[in-house]
Chain A
C-alpha cells in the first residue's frame, strides 16, 4: 500500500481537534491537513417508511465537500436505505434533501446521476458479458451527446466523441491499475477486481459525490488495503466527496473524516471516528447492553 493507513490512525489520535470540528458549519481542516469545503449535501429530518416498517426515523446529517463520510451501524440499521435516499432511489415520506444549496425535489435516479452523484452497489451490478472497458464506458453514457444511431454508425463526430470519452476511461483504468483486465469480460473476474471495475465505472461519471455501498465486503486483507488506498487516492486526486457504508470498523475508522451511526433507523451519533468510538450509545448498540 502506498499511503499508509496507519498514519491516518495516528493523525486521528488526538480527539481535541475533532471536537472543534463538530460545530463548524462550513469549512474545516482535517487532522491530516486537508481543507474540507462547505456543505454539499444535507439530510434534514429524514423519515422513510415501508408500510408499517420504519427504516429511517428522523435522521439529519450533512456531507461536506471533499470529505470521506462513513455511515455505519449494525445490520438493519437503515444504512443502505439512507444511501438509496441520497441516490434518489427511495423517496422519504418526511424530511428534505438539500444538494449544493438547493432543496431537491423528488427525482428519478438518472436525473440525480446527472447532478453528479454516482454509486457502487453492495451486490456487484456490472454487465457480466461485457468487458471491463465497456463497463467503464457505460459510466460515460450520460455525457455522450450523440444519439443511438450516430453511435451505431460510429463515424465522424460520434467517433470523435467516443475517443474523447475512451481516453477519460483509460485514465481511470490506469488510475485503478486494471489495465491487464481491460479486455476481459467482467463475469470471469474475481470478486475483488469486479468491485474495482464497479468503482471505475462510478468514477467514469466524474461524480461530485460518490456513494460506496460496502466497498470492501467479502474482500481479503490485501484487497481491502488496495481498495482503501484507491478510495483515499480518488479523494485526494479528484477531490471527490465520498460517502461510504462499511462493516469493517478498522477500515471506517482509518478512512473516514466523519462518521454517522445509525441503529434501527435512528441516529445514534455523528462525529469524528474518535468521538464516535467513545460514544456510549454506539458502544451499547454494537456490544449490546445488560437489561
Chain B
C-alpha cells in the first residue's frame, strides 16, 4: 500500500493518483494486454504519458469540462486510459456495455448527451453511426482498431493514435491548461457515470463522485490488504461498477497491475497465464468452470477419476476448515498436503487460481456446493454484497468468517439498517450523488439523511452478525393465501443444479407456484452424449422425455428443501415446463448482467403461464427471437407440462 494522506496531497481524483504512481512507482507494471500472442506491458510512467497525450488530444478535439465521453468496447488498457484522459480534462467518462444493441445505446447516449464517443472497433463504430441521426449532441468519435474503416468518412471519426499524436504536438500552454484542469479535480467533482442495467424500466445514470470512488477504493483495499503487487484480470464489462472500482479505483489507489485478455474467447487461457492474486467473478463464471471440470472428470481415466473423487471428498471435509485456520488434526493436514500436490494444486493451476489470495463473488447468490468446492481447494473465495449506487461495497466477508449463505458484515465506514418491511438500507462515503436527470428516482432511492434503499429484503443473522439476503424487496410478494412468495430463493435453489441454467418462478397472488426452467446446454448436452441420446437442436433436447424426467427429480428435491423452511413452504413448485429457447438479453428476457426480468417474461410467455395454471397437459406456442445480427425470427414448439408432487411441511419435518 502506498503511504499518503488522502485529500491533503490533492489526491482527490484518479488522474492525481495516476501522476503520483508515475512518480513513486514509475517502473512498476500498470497495464498489460495480450496482443499478437505476447503480453505487452506499460509501466505507470509510460501509462501516465499515454494518458496525458490522449488528454491533450481530447482538448484539441474540444472535449471540455462537463462533457460526457462514452466509452464502448472490451476491456483494453487504451479504453481505461480514455476514461482517465476524459477525467483529466474535466469531462465525465460513461462506459457502456459493449454488447448493447443500437437501440439501447441510443437511449443512454442521448440521455447523457454524449458529445464524444471512444469506440473499440468497427462493430461499435457502426452501431453509433447507425444511430447518430438520433443523437443531437454527438460530435466526434475516436476509434481504436482501424480495421475495416479505411474508407469511412473521417470528418467526425478519428483514430486513437492520431488523437494522441496531436496531443504530443500540443503547446506548452495547452499542457499548463491540462495541469490546472487536473488540479481542479476535487472530491466533489463527478468521477464517472454508470448506467445501471435496469432490472425494471429504462437504465438510470448513476453519478459517482471522486469521493465515492476514491474513499471506497481506499477502504476496500485496506480491508483486504491489497498492495501494489496484486495482479488482476480485467475481463468483466467496463460499464459495470465492479470493474470500475477494481480496474480504475483500486488499481490507481494501490498501484497494482491491470491485465486485459486478448479476446473474450481467450479469457480462460489468459487467466491461467496471469494467475491473478485478486480475482472477482460472478457466480455464473464459477458455476460454468465447475461444470467444465466435472464434465471433463467424467471423461477422465478410472485411476484419475478415483484419485479426484478421493481427494475432493477429503477437501470437502477439511479444506475450508484449514483455510479458515481452524483446528484440524495433523493426519488430515498431511493428507490435505498430499492432495495439494496431486490434485488441488494442478486443478487450481488449470483454472488459473494458483495465486488467488482474495477472491470475490457477488451479483447473485452462489450455490453452496459451488462455493464450498472452490474454498475446499484452498481458494480464499468470499462473498460481497453491493450495488452501483454504493460504489459496490455494502457488506463483505472478512477472512476466516466465510459462509455460503450470507454476504458478510458491513464494509468499513458503511452503515446498514433493516427497515420494518425487511428492506436493507445503507449509508456510506461511497453512496452515489444522484441519478442523472432523474430527481424523482433519486428522491425515491436516497433519503435526505443519505440512507439508500437497496430494494433487497434481508436480515442480520443473530449468531454471526452477517447479513442474509432473501430476495428483491418488491419481488417478495404474497400468495393468494397470504403466505410469503420469494421467487429468487426458489430459483436459486433450482439453479444450483448444473442441468438448470435459469428458472423463473410465478405465483404472486395465485394459489400455488409454477415455474419455467431453462436447461444448461453444456451440462445436459454432455449428459445426453454419454447416454446416447440423439438431439439436433436446443429445442429438441429441452423437450426430450428423459431430460424432463431428470429435471422433474431436481424440482422434487427443491420442493422438499423449500418445505423445510416454514415461512416459504408455500413456494413449492406444483407444475413446471422446460422452455424451448434459452432466455436471452437480446430478446429482453434477461438484463445485460443476465438477471431474469420476471415481468417481461411473464408477459411474453403469457400463454405458457396460463397453461401452467389451467391444468393442460401440453401447450403450443410461437416465440419471436432476435438473432445476434439483429434479425428476427420465429420459433414454434409444443411444450409438455410436468406435474410435481408437493412436500408438506410436516412430513419433511418428520423426515428430519
Give A residues with C-beta under 8 Å from B. 1-3, 33-34, 133, 166-167, 170-171, 173-175, 177, 179-180, 182, 222, 225, 233, 236-237
Q: Which of A1, A175, A225 has the most CB of B within 10 A?
A: A1
8 A–B contact pairs at CB < 8 A?
A: A173-B37, A179-B37, A180-B263, A180-B266, A182-B37, A222-B628, A225-B629, A233-B148
Q: Which residues of B contact A1 (CB under 8 A)?
A: 629
With the chains together, A171 CA to B145 CA distance in Å?
13
Q: Which of A3, A33, A133 has the most CB of B within 10 A?
A: A3
Are A236 and B262 neighbours in the complex by a CB distance under 8 Å? no
Contact with A along B186-225 (1 / 0, CB 8 A): 0000000000000000000000000000000000000000
Contacts of B593 in A (CB 8 A): none
Question: Which residues of chain B are within 8 angstroms of A225 by Cβ–Cβ distance?
Answer: 629
* A180→B123 CA distance, assembly (Å): 19
In B119-145, the 8 Å CB interface with A consists of 122-123, 126
Q: How far is the CB of A163 from chain B (nearest CB, A)?
A: 10
Q: Closest CB of chain A to B72's CB: distance in Å?
A: 14
In the bound complex, what is the Cα–Cα distance between A166 and B629 (angstroms)? 33
Is the CB–CB distance between A237 and B265 below 8 Å?
no
- Residues of A contacting B262 in the complex (Cβ-Cβ under 8 angstroms): 179
B306 within 8 A of A: no
User: Complex: how many Å from CA A180 to CA B267?
Assistant: 8
CB distance from B157 to the nearest CB of A (A): 15
Q: How far is the CA of A82 from the CA of B150 in the complex (A)?
A: 33
Q: Contacts of A173 on B, CB cut-off 8 Å?
A: 36-37
Other contacts beyond A2-B122, A3-B122, A179-B265: 10, CB < 8 A: A2-B123, A2-B126, A170-B38, A173-B36, A173-B37, A177-B263, A179-B37, A180-B263, A233-B147, A237-B150
Instruction: Kindly name the residue among A166, A167, A179, A237 whose own CB sees the greatest number of chain B CB atoms within 10 A.
Output: A179
* B634 close to chain A: CB less than 8 A: no
Report yes or no: B269 in contact with A174, Cβ–Cβ below 8 A.
no
In contact, A33 and B151 (Cβ under 8 angstroms): yes
Min Cβ gap B292→A in Å is 15
Q: Roughly how many angstroms separate A2 CA and B37 CA in the complex, as a whole number? A: 24
Do A174 and B629 touch (CB < 8 A)? no
Q: For the complex, give the distance between the alpha carbons of A56 and B138 in Å.
A: 57
- Name B267's closest neighbour in chain A (CB-CB): A180
Q: Report whether B36 and A236 are in contact in the complex, using a CB–CB cutoff of 8 Å.
A: no
Q: Which residue of B lies closest to A32 (CB)?
A: B151
Once A2-B122, A2-B126, A170-B36 are accepted as A-B contacts, the answer to whether A236 and B265 lie under 8 Å apart by CB is: no
> By the criterion CB–CB under 8 Å, are A180 and B265 in contact?
yes
A237 touches B148 (CB 8 A): yes
In B212-267, the 8 Å CB interface with A consists of 262-263, 265-266
* Interchain CB contact under 8 A, B269 and A180: yes
Q: Of residues 30 to 73 in B, which have CB atoms within 8 Å of A's CB atoms?
A: 35-38
Q: Which residues of chain A come closer than 8 Å to B150, judged between CB atoms?
A: 236-237
Residue from the list B37, B126, B266 in contact with A170, Cβ < 8 A = B37
Contacts of A182 in B (CB 8 A): 37
Within the assembled complex, what's the spacing in Å between the Cα atoms of A59 and B216?
74
A167 to B38, CA, bound (A): 10
- Bound Cα distance A177, B266 (Å): 10
Residues in chain B near residue A34, CB distance under 8 A: 151
Chain B residues with CB under 8 A of A2: 122-123, 126, 148
Instruction: Kindly state the separation between the CA atoms of A133 and B38 in the bound complex, as whole angstroms.
Output: 14
B134-177 interface code vs A (CB 8 A; 1 in, 0 out): 00000000000001101100000000000000000000000000
Contacts of B35 in A (CB 8 A): 174
B151 to chain A, nearest CB (A): 7
Which residues of chain A have C-beta atoms less than 8 A from B148's C-beta? Answer: 2-3, 233, 236-237
Alpha-carbon separation in the docked complex, A116 to B101 (Å): 41
Q: Which residues of A contact B38 (CB under 8 A)?
A: 170
